[in-house]
Amino acid sequence: MASAGAAAPAEVQDGGRQPRSVRVVLLALMIAMLLAMLDNMIIGTAMPTIVGELGGLAHLSWVVTAYTLATAASTPIWGKLGDLYGRKSIFLTSIVVFLIGSALSGMAQDMGQLIGFRAVQGLGAGGLMVGVMAIIGDLIPPRERGKYQGMMAGVMALAMIGGPLVGGTITDHLGWRWSFYINLPLGAVALAMITAVLHLPAKDRSNVKVDYLGAGLLTVGITSIVLVTTWGGTEYAWTSSMILLLIFIGVAALVGFVGAQTRVPEPIMPLHIFRNRNFTIMSVIGFLTGFVMFGAVLFLPLYQQAVQGASATNSGLLLLPMLLSMMVVSLVAGRITTSTGKYKIFPIVGGGLMVAGLFLLAQMGPDTTRLTSGLYMAVLGAGMGFLMQITMLVAQNSVEMKDMGVGSSTTTLFRTLGGSFGAAIMGALFTSKVQDEMAARVGSGGAGATQQSAQLDAASLAKLPDVVREAYQQAVSAGTHSAFMLGAGIAVIGFAAAFFVREVPLRGAGPQGPAEDEAKAVDGKVPQAV
């Protein structure tokens, strides 16, 4: 039973198809999701050109860090605001903020301005992903939502493959500023489509009280965590006073946040959602999946470039086996979930395949062929395909409709934080292993080639003497082995957790349910559900 005033899922027409208006909204939502995912992929290829024009090489990392910090910190706040003030208006606001940040970033005249405008862009991006997930949760019942998993996985694959290609083409032919301006027409289309077609019920805002203290404490806590994982082992030593101070501030802020959530009527992240075992397990699995996925995306292209001799562009294309496998498996799993209502088997199988895929990837060496590494990647991609959307589906099914926003944002936040931890911890292990191997193989002189960074680009690699280059390729193989073995160990925890998932029936609009009113969530007003 939907709670009063909540948007209910849209009625499914004969033949299992959603009304045309719902499909139009879904298209607009996919465009918004593409905006959020594509941005960093495009900007990455443009960064050398940006630094060449604006200078500020010492602050280069902040162009990414500012965006990541703002996205992570704002995600739970956007989710709660959507629950309080209405999903549509808050989502449209997040798109506008993102587009303003994109336009300003394109007009930046120095690195300081670019960093600040990227933070604005990140604030908007925090609302894009959670808004997409929450609105889908409003419009489509969990039982029917599975069939759209392939669509979302496809958008992710398109962003990861197409981002570097699009970014390189735009930068070469139009200039780096168009790497930001390209967001404007896409965002305008999404804005127009959602404004015209999506009509969710209005919220009663008369008694709304925003938890400003909780929002502030959570922002400080998340910011501290992300800075620790971003700076630790790179900008500062893990035992430095700065990192230890950030850890203390982060822990204190999060402890204060948990205490504050028990004393306010509308907490930013209501703790009662964690009393549901499935929700808690899916948050944990989402964190672990993010840990593994971001690590794989970080180290696979590096291995392909340094060891297998692929170009930067081709290394993105060589991820196709993983991404296509993920997309196909996600689509199949979604269809089966829709037709049977069963889903517990998918986290279990997905967790097992992730462990197997990471273990296989850890076996790669200088002599591993691209075909073999592609097969290993396909195994990992299949595991992620079983997990990526199922975690969100089960998490949303585990909360009440009134908490759809915070449920979606919390799951998204855990996955984001998992990615930050994965990149930091696996990166630290990789760097340490590469430098140790270089010192062991060619002595301190050769190891100096990786003193500043264990990740050499193609130009730097080509300048190395043959003996040092071969040693570096061996060292990268050893580093990726250690990183992927760590990932396999982390994935084992997710695999074990999946066995504790309860097979709770997915909500759906049956003939006796609220389907008559639910179809009006798009194109018209939704009467209050009984």
Contacts of 201 (CB under 8 A, 6+ apart): 5, 6, 7, 86, 521, 525, 526, 528
Distance CA 154, CA 326 (A): 9
Instruction: Please give the span between the terminal C-alpha atoms of the chain, in angstroms, as a whole number.
Output: 7
Give the pLDDT confidence score for residue 292 in this predicted structure: 86
Count the neighbouring beta carbons within 10 Å of the beta carbon of residue 20.
12
Return the amino acid letter for 356.
A
Give the pLDDT confidence score for residue 93 in this predicted structure: 92
Give the pLDDT confidence score for residue 190 in this predicted structure: 87
Give the pLDDT confidence score for residue 104 in this predicted structure: 93
Q: What is the pLDDT of residues 425-466, one digit of tens each?
A: 888 788 788 878 877 777 655 555 555 445 555 556 666 677
Q: Distance from CA of residue 291 to its chain's centroid? A: 10
Give the pLDDT confidence score for residue 95 in this predicted structure: 92
Contacts of 204 (CB under 8 A, 6+ apart): 5
Distance CA 423, CA 413 (A): 15
Give 425-459 as a DSSP string: HHHHHHHHHHHHHHHHHHHHHHHGGGSS-S---HH
Going from the C-alpha of 219 to that of each of 145, 208, 216, 227, 249, the distances in angstroms are: 31, 21, 5, 12, 11
Residue ranges and CATH numbers for the domains of the chain are 20-200 (1.20.1250.20), 212-269 (no CATH), 272-506 (1.20.1250.20)
Q: What is the pLDDT of residues 8-52, one digit of tens each?
A: 444 444 444 445 667 778 888 888 888 877 777 777 667 667 777
Distance CA 418, CA 436 (A): 27
Closest CA to 282 of 388, 384, 395, 389: 395
Q: Retrieve residue 290's tokens.
A: 């993010």
Give the pLDDT confidence score for residue 463 in this predicted structure: 67
pLDDT in tens, the chain (530 residues): 333 333 444 444 444 444 566 777 888 888 888 887 777 777 766 766 777 777 766 666 677 778 888 888 888 888 888 888 888 888 999 999 999 999 998 888 888 888 888 889 989 988 888 888 888 878 877 777 766 666 777 777 777 767 767 776 777 778 788 888 888 998 898 888 888 888 776 666 666 677 788 888 888 988 888 888 878 777 788 888 999 999 999 999 999 988 888 888 888 888 888 889 999 999 999 999 888 887 777 778 778 777 777 765 566 677 788 888 888 888 888 888 878 888 889 999 999 999 999 999 999 888 888 888 889 999 999 998 888 778 888 888 888 878 888 888 888 888 888 887 887 788 878 878 887 887 777 765 555 555 544 555 555 666 667 777 778 778 888 888 888 999 999 999 999 999 999 888 876 644 333 333 333 444 444 333 32
Distance CA 65, CA 84 (A): 29
Give the pLDDT confidence score for residue 19 in this predicted structure: 52
Give the pLDDT confidence score for residue 508 in this predicted structure: 61
Dihedral angle, C-alpha 32, 38, 39, 41, nearest 10 °: 170
Distance CA 514, CA 525 (A): 14
Dihedral angle, C-alpha 40, 424, 282, 17, nearest 10 °: 20
pTM here is 0.79
